[in-house]
Structure 1
Amino acid sequence: MISSLRLPSEPMIDKTISSSVILGSIQDRDGSDMCWDGVRGGARFVQPGTAGEFEEFFILDGRSVVALRDTRCPVAERHLYLGEDYVKFHIRFSGSSIIALDDYSASREISGPSFGIMVQPSERRKVEQIPSCGHQRWLTILLTRETFVDMFESTLSDLPQFLTAFSAGKADQPFIASAQLTKTLSQTAIAMFSSQLRGSTRRMFFEAKTLELLSIISEQLTQQFVPGKRLTLTTRDSDKIREVFRLLEDDPSTLPNMSVLARQLGLNRDKLIKGFKQIHGQTITEASLALRMHRARELLHSGESVTRVADLAGYAYIGNFSAAYRKFFGTSPTHEHRKHTHQSARGPIV
């Protein structure tokens, strides 16, 4: 799930990450138990002093990489990812991180369970901030443009516009979209975390599961982002539709009238509604609700009362806000407020 959020500031470990850094880590074996299978393009880094915590990578088709992480972070981390013309498919089961991309006016929080897609063209950097004390459990597939085109060749014409632009080498701006984490997608990824295979057998298993994941993703994208006939959107259309998301970010408490909004932007109402889902993978209403709920959670964490947050979120009745919040996050705003108020009162854990 993706929402607008300001980057917090706290002491942390800084890392600069690129494909060359990842590939070098995989290939640089020192014979220790920390890294294995480097000759065949795979590496597993076990966290010292932990039970079952690890980071694992393997190279897919030259420079494309599959990364798994199942760790708890005792210290916050900040990762700088250099833009290298990748599309990234991210399956997150737990934990959260805050990312900021070049040319994006606001940062984004990604929290599990969720499935996200990101295009990161060359020369566009990404900064990811991971909070301390969180359980990070996720899988990311990083495909170069060449590998992406090769694997999605049969469905390129049916994919969302930002992916077809990436495949043609015309994606000069970074882009993030969220999609549904389906049961099939989740189960296939979980099988990779639970595998006890070793060596070449493990690599073959991972390759097969990765191809299975990409097949599921391809089918899901063509269905979820393009449920019917694909709209033809001009550059102007796309820019106007992306402007809608920025308007929602500025005031997520108010859902705009679609007809009025379409007239203001100079778009057909049907094109506005269908085009937004085609580009962003969710309806305007869904995007507005997600932004509203995450902004509300941010305010609760900052110490604002539930009554005040309900009002700022645009709810006339606190009961309606509580019901919407519980449905979205699975917990009540009162519990969320009380939990973070008590943590603040106790002070930091040292």
Structure 2
Amino acid sequence: MNKFSDSVPESALPLPASHAMFDGTIAMSSGSLRPEKDEWLQEQLVPGLKLIVVDRGELLCDLPGSGRQHITGPCVCAVWNQQEGESRQRFEPGRQLDYTTIALTPAAVASHIDSEFQQQLEASFQSRRFSGPRLLVLEASATIKSLHAQVATCPMQGLSRALFLSGKALEIMAHALDSLISRPAPEASALRLSNSDIDKLHLARKLLAERMLNPPSLAELALSVGFNTRKLTVGFRRQFGESVFEYLQNLRLDTAWRMLTEGEVSVSTAAYSVGYTPAHFSVAFRKKFGVSPKSLRG
């Protein structure tokens, strides 16, 4: 059975590796810190990718290769590390920091993230220019903040709790990774889109709409329109103002809205028709439109 930490001692650091899920290559931890002392604390870094959602609070992080950074929540910290090492962290004494961490071992990265996606991550972290661990701090989207809140307030116990939190870990990971690869790299500002490139981006959006229930992967979509995945993700956000993932989610919810307001369909039917389970559909629908889907059925 999967285990997750709901709280940690005040002097502890968020170390998710002891709470493994799936095949032991992905781990999750969630809790709060309220240190009493103003001191630097050491944390052992292990190879892999770690995502830390800082919902509330602040800290200083001193990471070899990335320098010292002041981090204030809400945000998402992404650490990409390919070798053993350590970092130092200093928390504000007496101030609570709420967090959720998800860690992927190198085996998880290799088995769950295809090679082209890994290349995009390396480009985002500029791994070829810098050795050692790399830290990026991203804005926490409304979706990620909502997922963190669901993790922190999960009322379930036992196996139901483990399954629920496993699902939320994957959702957080998906949104955070989407933000990472969509984040403009330093060279992205120089990206020029020709008229032909723009036509390809519109074709990519059309293909997503046609395959809404069974969308292609980023690599498949890029190949279909003659782009590499990096140019697709950066170009798509630049042209349409949202990532590929965000476009697909908004398309599904907008389609469901029309189904509920223009036709005689149930909430469950609308949910399954756009690729959601009813429970996840209701949460996503309310988040986007501010009303529950059930309220549209009178």
TM-score by length of 2: 0.53
| Structure 2 unmatched ranges of 5 or more | 192-233, 235-298
SS at match of 1:108: strand
Of residues 78, 81, 92, the one that matches 2:43 is 81
Residue type at the aligned position of 1:96: E
| TM-superposition CA deviations, 1:141-189 (whole Å, max 9, x none) | 12112212322227334435155859xxx97412111222111111112
In structure 2, the CA distance between the partners of 1:152 and 1:171, relative to structure 1 (3 Å rule), is: farther
Per-residue deviation at 1:198? 0.8
Which residue of the partner structure matches residue 155 of structure 2?
Answer: 196
In structure 2, the CA distance between the partners of 1:208 and 1:228, relative to structure 1 (3 Å rule), is: farther
In structure 2, the CA distance between the partners of 1:175 and 1:227, relative to structure 1 (3 Å rule), is: closer
Residue type at the aligned position of 1:88: K
Give distance in 2, aligned partners of 1:229 and 1:129. Answer: 33
Q: Does 1:121 align with 2:82?
A: yes
In structure 2, the CA distance between the partners of 1:142 and 1:103, relative to structure 1 (3 Å rule), is: same
SS at match of 1:82: strand
SS at match of 2:83: coil
SS at match of 2:173: helix
| Structure 1 unmatched ranges of 5 or more | 1-38, 49-53, 233-277, 279-350
Which residue of the partner structure matches residue 101 of structure 1?
Answer: 63
Which residue of the partner structure matches residue 137 of structure 2?
Answer: 178
| TM-superposition CA deviations, 1:251-307 (whole Å, max 9, x none) | xxxxxxxxxxxxxxxxxxxxxxxxxxx9xxxxxxxxxxxxxxxxxxxxxxxxxxxxx
Which residue of the partner structure matches residue 303 of structure 1?
Answer: none
Per-residue deviation at 1:55? 9.8
CA contact (8 A) 2:4 2:29 kept: no
SS at match of 1:122: coil
Residue type at the aligned position of 2:153: S
Per-residue deviation at 1:77? 5.3
Q: Structure 1 vs Structure 2: percent identity of aligned residues?
A: 15
1:1-350 alignment runs, 5 A limit: 40-45=2-7, 58-60=19-21, 61-76=23-38, 78-104=40-66, 106-153=67-114, 155-161=117-123, 165=127, 172-225=131-184
Which deviates the most, 150-159 or 177-186?
150-159
In structure 2, the CA distance between the partners of 1:79 and 1:199, relative to structure 1 (3 Å rule), is: farther
In structure 2, the CA distance between the partners of 1:219 and 1:47, relative to structure 1 (3 Å rule), is: closer
Per-residue deviation at 1:190? 1.3
Residue type at the aligned position of 1:203: A
Give distance in 1, aligned partners of 2:142 and 2:169. Answer: 16
Which deviates the most, 73-82 or 186-195?
73-82
In structure 2, the CA distance between the partners of 1:147 and 1:186, relative to structure 1 (3 Å rule), is: same
CA contact (8 A) 1:158 1:226 kept: no
In structure 2, the CA distance between the partners of 1:184 and 1:97, relative to structure 1 (3 Å rule), is: same
CA contact (8 A) 1:159 1:226 kept: no
In structure 2, the CA distance between the partners of 1:124 and 1:64, relative to structure 1 (3 Å rule), is: same
SS at match of 2:24: coil
Per-residue deviation at 1:211? 0.9
Give distance in 1, aligned partners of 2:134 and 2:9. Answer: 32
In structure 2, the CA distance between the partners of 1:228 and 1:150, relative to structure 1 (3 Å rule), is: farther
CA contact (8 A) 2:52 2:101 kept: yes
Backbone CA RMSD of aligned residues: 3.5
